[in-house]
Amino acid sequence: MAKSKFRPLHDRVVVRRVESEAKTAGGIIIPDTAKEKPQEGEIIAVGSGPRDEAGKLVPLDGKAGDRILFGKWSGTEVKLNGEHLLIMKESDIMGIIG
């Protein structure tokens, strides 16, 4: 992503999904067709933040490199530089892990 010139605007973030496990705790292998898309990811890039009523920028809580949890239907899937990523608003992020 470092080579990309893509930068999200305002309160949007670019997220790379974290791959889910291919096996259950009991050792059963889950086929790709039965896997749910992970709701955990890593922030790749953040926008500058929204403006408050006075016109001042309000920085986002998340930053590049943070691991996050987000809603099942959050964001818009895009393909940038051959990689599948999500673009979502910061309000779609449920929390930062760690």
pTM of the model: 0.74
Q: Quick check: is 27 in a domain?
A: no
In a domain, 86, yes or no: yes
The three-class DSSP label of residue 34 is helix
Higher pLDDT, 42 or 1: 42
Structure tokens at 58: 């309000």
The CATH number of the domain where 66 resides is what? 2.30.33.40
What is d(CA 64, CA 31) in angstroms, rounded to the nearest whole number? 31
Model confidence pLDDT, tens digit, residues 31-67:
655 556 668 999 999 999 999 999 899 999 989 999 9
**How much is the pLDDT for 4?**
58
Residue 52 lies in domain: 12-18+36-96
What type of residue is 83?
E
For 92, the 3-state DSSP assignment is: helix
Q: Is residue 5 part of a domain?
A: no
pLDDT at 1: 44
In a domain? residue 30: no
Q: Domain count for the chain, please give it.
A: 1
DSSP assignment letter at 49: -
